[in-house]
């Protein structure tokens, strides 16, 4: 049976004018498109400073020396190539809802991957659940997009989320700081705020994309409910009505605000997306407005 | 249109109750909905105790309507709604068809083709069934000594005719009272509207039974006339004579069932050879008997035959199988055989063989001239013990099967185990023994006789059985006592009870059999079993044992050393034909042809079931499963409006 493609070509054409943006300055190789506040071997002039012993003589401003008889060194702005990593939640909680959050997250990851490849960024797709799964690294242009799509299509949801374990493994496995886009529902009973804080403290810039289904935020059910947790299998028997729904939604929104607070206070960004929002609307709307893309 | 099972108020009450219950259940939403959610953490904040939610309005009125209609249809089916007039109520009749042995009689004439009575009875029964309204139900009961239902109340004429046509004469006499009681009980318990109790048959019963019979009010008699003149054997009994076990005493009784005096010769043959002849001069309704003796040890068939030309011949001949009389071999190894010879030649039923000690072999059958059975070892302990049952007289102390405790001089035998078969009838006391061994019995051993010092005679049950005597009875003071042969007879009877079993064979009729016992016997020691070894239930009241069998065959009654064999093959027809008075006689007039009521319950039940199935498919769980299979994506909102909550 032929499955629906993750992303269609018309949408890809629209994505070509976008670029992934980050706010922090990271050390990296020359060749990127985001300006760094670090000086280095760039093309754009940044500033002058006093010459010190050992500086490169090629950067000495000889015209200033002839006029002032002092050695000044020209500094240039560097545009480094920074790794962009996409953490994709593949736990069982992503499978609930009328529209699968997992499919939605995969499409969103594919779109971001294409945007990064077009700008010659290096993209690492890192699925996770209980642990970090096998990652997929691509870079060097849009022609590397098809393998990335195949990788995303081959992913299967399963297991439960453990953000502490993920943060610990990620910090150990990726020592180079960079942009970290987390696409998840951020539903970990142990809490995900502190692990996200650890990732930010390590030096990564976070873009937190929270995906939810409408049932996750405001369940439409009434009466006696037998509920089963998709990840833990725990069950709960409750009576549910309009008042309970209001309480539920308030609790969910509070959780979303906690996630947003973690993102924003670490100079990162937060985007909350319902699966009812189309990928195109999400990319050109909330994601672009948050500054993740421009 | 009318209701068959329920009256209209009953029907409306049940329908109202069930409908109200259905609506109440419908409005009371008790169904829990199962959902899988991403997390339970937010539900904990919204959690409240589960409460039942009552609906205020009908969400699926078509579903409820469909359920109520289906319920109505099913209830109508249970009530057996019928189309037609209530005047055409069907009735339930019990047809008692005589299948006693007498129904095998033939009434010969050219027109009937020498047919049997049962053939005529079946024709009459078929005619009776055909004369009934088609809606009437009939139960077919076959009556001989037992009333056996062949078909429960049934309106299907094919099944009724099949049950009638499959009826064959049995081997038992007719017990009409029991059949009438059974029919009345069946109508009380199972019939919806009792009809007639109809008897079709010859109605030949015993005169005692005829005097007690009372016809019920709804009784119809369809008599089948058969032959009136008949002579038959009533009883044949054979047992061994008390004075000579090789002689059989034979008792034969014959009866004239007719109204004309008859002279009938009787021939008794054993193994094909005549052993007695007699001509019975039988007056009307008279019974005569014959008793004679004949001697044989061989087994064979004893046949008693009346030379008659009657059309009913089942009781003109009786055959009994007589068993052979065998002698129990007793092998005596003794160096002084003359001492023991008078004792063992005085015991009937055994064949004593005296052999020297030197010819002993453990397997008694292997010894030259010896036979299996019982081995007696006189002052002798063989190197290997005998494999057969054995009697040991004063065995050597070191090789006795029962350990010898001591040897006492001038011992005095002063106690017998009188409550055990080994000591039964032994009363001699204070017998002085010059020398006797005192035994040390093991657990389970039986002390038959003892002195003050200890056991003198010990029996050991098991296989093989062993009896050890600590003295030689012939050498001691017991030599001239009657106790000595009785003791050995008791020992041999205990070891081989079959050797002394008395036989009694009787040819009789099936039904209840009364057996006169010689003494009051523990019922646990009695066995009543068929030829195939199947046990029959029986009762014992004093000296009277009673059992019942409904099928012809051989029944054995074993009471200790007595075996009674009943060959229950003589049919013993009744000696009178019951003629009921003040009852309907003959076939009824054929029911008028007209519109009869029609059963609708089949169609109502099918329609109700289809209604429930459609409701289940459209509104029930299958609908939810289909929706789940189609995926939660497309059309979920559209389906939700059709979702059934109850």
Out of A51-55, B384-388, B426-430, B627-631, least confident range = B627-631
Pairing of strands A223-229, A235-240: antiparallel
Rounded CA gap, A29 and A294, in Å? 22
Query: Confidence band (pLDDT; 50, 70, 90) for A57?
Result: confident
A190: contact with B, CB 8 A cutoff? no
Burial B328-366 (b: 16+ CB within 10 A, else e): bbbbbbbeebebbeebbeebebbebbbbeeeebbeebee
% of chain A at pLDDT higher than 70: 92
Select from B33, B43, B632 the Cβ nearest to the Cβ of A236.
B43
Instruction: Provide the 3-class DSSP secondary structure of residue A126.
Output: strand
Does residue A281 belong to any structural domain of this protein?
yes
A259 by DSSP, 3-state: which?
helix
Cis before B241 (ω within 30): no
| Fold held by B328-498 | Rossmann fold (3.40.50)
- Kindly state whether residues A171 and A249 are assigned to the same domain: yes
Q: What is d(CA B183, CA B196) in angstroms, rounded to the nearest whole number? A: 10
Q: Per the CB < 8 Å rule, is B33 touching A237?
A: no
| A85 and A73 housed in the same domain | no
Q: Would an 8 Å CB–CB cutoff place B634 in contact with chain A? A: no
Same domain assignment for residues A89 and A195: yes
Q: Does B28 touch chain A (CB under 8 A)?
A: no
pTM, 2 dp: 0.49
Contact B340, B474 (CB under 8 A): yes
- pLDDT at residue B50 is higher than 60: no
A187, A226, A231: residue with CB nearest B32: A226
| Cα A183 versus chain centre, distance | 6
Nearest-CA distance from B48 to chain A in Å?
6
Q: Do the domain assignments include residue A2?
A: no
Query: Does some domain include residue A141?
Result: yes
Residue located via tokens 């299967």: A156
Could you tell me if B283 lies within 8 Å of chain A, comparing CB atoms? no
Considering only alpha carbons, which residue of chain B is nearest residue A93? B38
Say whether A96 and B43 touch across the interface (CB within 8 A). Answer: no
Q: What class does CATH assign to B86-228+576-594?
A: alpha beta
Other residues' Cβ atoms within 10 Å of the Cβ of residue B255: 22
Same domain, A201 and A277: yes
| B638 at A interface, C-beta within 8 A | no
Q: Please report the ipTM that was assigned to this predicted complex.
A: 0.82
In this predicted model, which residue has the larger pLDDT, B346 or B235?
Answer: B235
State which CATH number among 2.60.40.740, 1.10.10.10, 2.60.40.10, 2.40.420.20 fits the domain covering B231-324: 2.60.40.10
| Domain count of the fold of chain A | 2
**If you ran DSSP here, which 8-state letter would residue A256 be given?**
H
CB contact under 8 A, A98 and B50: no
How sure is the predictor about B373, in pLDDT bands with cuts at 50, 70 and 90?
confident
Q: Which two tokens stand for residue B322?
A: 């007589």
Long-range CB pairs of B423-430 (<8 Å, 24+ gap) are B423/B448, B423/B449, B423/B490, B424/B490, B425/B486, B425/B490, B426/B483, B426/B486, B426/B487, B426/B490, B427/B483, B428/B478, B428/B481, B428/B482, B428/B483
B506 confidence band (pLDDT: 50, 70, 90)? confident
CATH number of residue A147's parent domain: 3.40.50.410
d(CA B203, CA B576): 8
Do A19 and A142 lie in one domain? The reply is: yes
| Average pLDDT value for residue range A214-232 | 87
Q: CB contacts < 8 Å between A and B, how many?
A: 114
Maximum average pLDDT range among A85-89, B292-296, B362-366, B510-514? A85-89
E strand residue ranges, B273-361: 273-282, 287-295, 300-306, 317-322, 328-333, 350-355
Residue B637's pLDDT band (boundaries 50, 70, 90)? very low
Residue A32 lies in a domain: no
Instruction: Mark whether A114 and A60 lie in a shared domain.
Output: no
Four-residue CA torsion sign, A103, A105, A110, A114 = positive
Range with the lowest mean pLDDT among A156-160, B178-182, B284-288, B551-555? Answer: B551-555
pLDDT, one tens digit per residue, over B441-496 is 998 899 999 888 899 999 999 888 999 999 888 877 777 778 888 888 889 888 88
Asked if the C-beta of A276 comes within 8 angstroms of chain B's C-beta atoms, the answer is no
Question: What tokens appear for B88 in the block?
Answer: 């055409």
pLDDT tens figures, A143-198? 889 999 999 999 999 988 999 999 999 999 888 888 899 999 999 888 899 999 99
The answer to whether B243 and B293 have CB atoms below 8 angstroms apart is no
Considering the domain architecture, whether residues A110 and A69 belong to the same structural domain is answered as no
Asked if the model's pLDDT at residue B518 lies above 80, the reply is no
**B502 pLDDT exceeds 50?**
yes
Residue A66 placed within a domain: yes
3-state SS class at B291: strand
Q: Is the dihedral of CA A59, A61, A65, A66 positive or negative?
A: positive
Averaged pLDDT, B540-562: 82
Task: Give exposure, B106-138, as e/b (b: 16+ Cβ within 10 Å).
Answer: bbeeeeeeeebbbbbbbebbbebbeebbebbbb
Give the residues across from B98 on adjacent strands.
B143
pLDDT digits (tens, 9 = 90+) for B234-291: 888 888 887 777 888 999 999 888 888 888 899 999 888 888 888 889 888 888 898 9
Which residues face B576 on adjacent strands? B205
For residue A38, what are the contacts with CB-CB under 8 A and spacing of at least 6? Answer: A25, A27, A78, A80
A230 touches chain B (CB under 8 A): yes
CB contact under 8 A, A252 and B50: no
Give how far Cα B109 sits from Cα of B106, B115, B257, B259, B306, Å: 9, 9, 22, 21, 24
Q: Which domain holds residue A122?
A: 9-26+81-290
- Of A53-57, A134-138, B617-621, the range with the highest mean pLDDT is A134-138
A218 in B contact zone (CB under 8 Å): no
Q: Residue B244's pLDDT is what? A: 79
Pair A159, A63 in one domain: no
Q: Tell whether A200 is covered by a domain.
A: yes
Asked if residue A20 and residue A66 are part of one domain, the reply reads no
Check whether B639 has a pLDDT greater than 50.
no
Residue B270 corresponds to which tokens in the numbers above?
């054993």
The DSSP secondary structure of B371-417, one letter per residue, reads -SSEEEEES---SS--SSEEEEES--GGG-SS-EEEEEEEEEEEEE-
Can you spell out the DSSP letters for A222-234? -EEEEEEETTT--
Residues A18 and A47 in one domain: no
CATH topology match: B231-324 vs B328-498:
no
Query: Within a domain: residue A228?
Result: yes
- What single DSSP character describes residue B144? S
The predicted pLDDT at position B626 comes to 57
Mean pLDDT of B303-325: 84
* B216 pLDDT more than 60: yes
For residue B629 the two structure tokens come to 């299979």
Q: Which of B36, B52, B633 sits opposite A228 (nearest CB)?
A: B36
Nearest residue to B135 via CA among B636, B551, B461, B598: B598
- Phi and psi at A250, nearest 5°, equal -65, -40
The answer to whether residues A93 and A168 belong to one domain is yes
Residues from chain A contacting residue B51 (CB–CB below 8 Å): 224, 239
Domain range list for chain B: 2-83+601-640, 86-228+576-594, 231-324, 328-498, 501-572
CATH topology for B501-572 is: Immunoglobulin-like (2.60.40)
- Are residues A63 and A148 both part of a single domain? no
Residues of B in contact with A224 (CB under 8 A): 29-33, 50-53
Alpha helices in B8-60 (DSSP H): 8-27, 41-46
């Amino acid at each position: 049976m032929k499955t629906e493609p993750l992303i269609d070509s018309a949408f890809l054409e629209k994505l070509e004018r976008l670029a992934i943006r980050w706010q922090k300055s990271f050390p990296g190789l020359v060749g990127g498109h985001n300006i760094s506040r670090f000086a280095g071997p760039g093309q754009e002039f940044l500033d002058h400073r006093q010459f010190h012993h050992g500086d490169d003589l090629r950067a000495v401003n000889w015209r200033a020396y002839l006029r002032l008889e002092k050695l000044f060194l020209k500094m240039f702005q560097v545009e480094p190539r920074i790794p962009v990593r996409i953490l994709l939640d593949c736990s069982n909680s992503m499978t609930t809802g009328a529209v699968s959050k997992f499919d939605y997250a995969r499409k969103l990851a594919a779109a971001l991957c294409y945007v990064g490849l077009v700008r010659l960024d290096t993209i690492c797709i890192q699925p996770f659940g209980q642990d970090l799964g096998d990652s997929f690294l691509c870079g060097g242009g849009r022609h590397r997009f098809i393998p990335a799509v195949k990788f995303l299509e081959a992913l299967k949801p399963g297991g439960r989320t453990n953000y502490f374990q993920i943060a610990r493994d990620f910090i150990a496995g990726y020592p180079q700081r960079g942009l970290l886009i987390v696409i998840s529902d951020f539903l970990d009973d142990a809490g995900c705020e502190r692990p996200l804080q650890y990732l930010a403290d390590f030096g990564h810039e976070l873009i937190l994309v929270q995906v939810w289904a409408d049932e996750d935020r405001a369940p439409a059910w009434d009466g006696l409910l037998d509920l089963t947790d998709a990840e833990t299998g725990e069950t709960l028997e409750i009576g549910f009505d309009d008042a309970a729904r209001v309480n539920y939604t308030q609790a969910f929104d509070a959780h979303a605000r906690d996630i947003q607070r973690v993102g924003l206070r670490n100079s990162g960004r937060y985007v909350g997306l319902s699966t009812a929002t189309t990928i195109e609307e999400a990319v050109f709307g909330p994601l672009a407005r948050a500054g993740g893309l421009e | 249109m009318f209701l068959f099972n329920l009256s209209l108020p009953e029907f409306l009450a049940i329908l109202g109750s069930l409908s109200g219950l259905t609506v109440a259940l419908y409005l009371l939403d008790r169904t829990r909905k199962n959902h899988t959610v991403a997390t339970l953490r937010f539900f904990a904040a919204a959690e409240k105790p589960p409460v039942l939610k009552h609906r205020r309005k009908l969400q699926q009125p078509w579903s409820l309507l469909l359920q109520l209609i289906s319920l109505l249809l099913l209830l109508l089916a249970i009530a057996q709604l019928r189309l037609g007039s209530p005047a055409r109520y069907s009735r339930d009749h019990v047809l008692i068809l005589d299948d006693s042995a007498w129904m095998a009689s033939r009434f010969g004439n050219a027109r009937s083709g020498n047919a049997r009575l049962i053939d005529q009875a079946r024709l009459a029964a078929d005619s009776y069934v055909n004369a009934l309204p088609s809606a009437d139900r009939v139960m077919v009961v076959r009556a001989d000594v037992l009333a056996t239902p062949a078909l429960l109340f049934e309106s299907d004429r094919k099944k009724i005719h099949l049950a009638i046509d499959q009826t064959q004469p049995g081997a038992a006499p007719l017990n009409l009272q029991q059949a009438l009681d059974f029919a009345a009980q069946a109508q009380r318990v199972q019939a919806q509207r009792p009809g007639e109790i109809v008897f079709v048959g010859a109605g030949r019963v015993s005169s005692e039974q005829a005097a007690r019979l009372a016809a019920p009010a709804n009784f119809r008699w369809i008599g089948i006339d058969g032959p009136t003149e008949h002579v038959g054997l009533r009883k044949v009994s054979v047992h061994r004579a008390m004075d000579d076990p090789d002689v059989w005493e034979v008792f034969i009784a014959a009866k004239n069932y007719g109204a004309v005096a008859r002279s009938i010769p009787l021939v008794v043959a054993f193994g094909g050879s005549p052993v007695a002849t007699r001509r019975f001069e039988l007056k009307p309704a008279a019974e005569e008997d014959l008793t004679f003796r004949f001697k044989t040890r061989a087994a064979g068939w004893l046949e008693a035959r009346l030379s008659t030309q009657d059309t009913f011949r089942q009781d003109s001949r009786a055959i009994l199988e007589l068993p052979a009389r065998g002698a129990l071999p007793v092998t005596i190894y003794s160096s002084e055989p003359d001492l023991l010879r008078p004792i063992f030649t005085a015991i009937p039923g055994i064949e004593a063989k005296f052999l020297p000690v030197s010819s002993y072999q453990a397997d008694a059958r292997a010894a030259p001239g010896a036979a299996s059975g019982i081995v007696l070892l006189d002052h002798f302990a063989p190197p290997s013990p005998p494999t057969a049952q054995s009697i040991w007289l004063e065995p050597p102390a070191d090789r006795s099967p029962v350990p010898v405790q001591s040897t006492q001089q001038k011992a005095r035998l002063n106690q017998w185990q009188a409550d055990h078969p080994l000591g039964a009838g032994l009363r001699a006391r204070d017998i002085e023994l010059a020398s006797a061994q005192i035994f040390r019995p093991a657990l389970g051993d039986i002390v038959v006789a003892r002195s003050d010092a200890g056991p003198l005679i010990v029996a050991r049950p098991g296989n093989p059985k062993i009896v050890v005597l600590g003295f030689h009875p012939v050498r001691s003071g017991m030599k001239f006592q009657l106790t000595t042969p009785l003791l050995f007879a008791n020992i041999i009877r205990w070891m081989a009870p079959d050797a002394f079993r008395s036989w009694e064979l009787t040819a009789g009729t099936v039904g209840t059999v009364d057996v006169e016992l010689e003494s009051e016997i523990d019922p646990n020691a009695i066995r009543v079993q068929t030829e195939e070894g199947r046990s029959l239930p029986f009762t014992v009241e004093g000296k009277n044992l009673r059992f019942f069998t409904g099928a012809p065959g051989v029944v054995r009654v074993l009471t200790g050393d007595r075996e009674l064999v009943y060959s229950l093959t003589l049919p013993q027809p009744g000696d009178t034909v019951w003629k009921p008075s003040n009852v309907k006689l003959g076939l009824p007039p054929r029911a008028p042809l007209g519109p009869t009521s029609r059963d609708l319950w089949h169609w109502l039940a099918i329609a109700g079931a289809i209604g429930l199935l459609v409701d289940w498919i459209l509104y029930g769980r299958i609908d939810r499963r289909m929706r789940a299979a189609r995926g939660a994506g497309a059309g979920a909102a559209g389906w939700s409006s059709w979702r059934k909550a109850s």
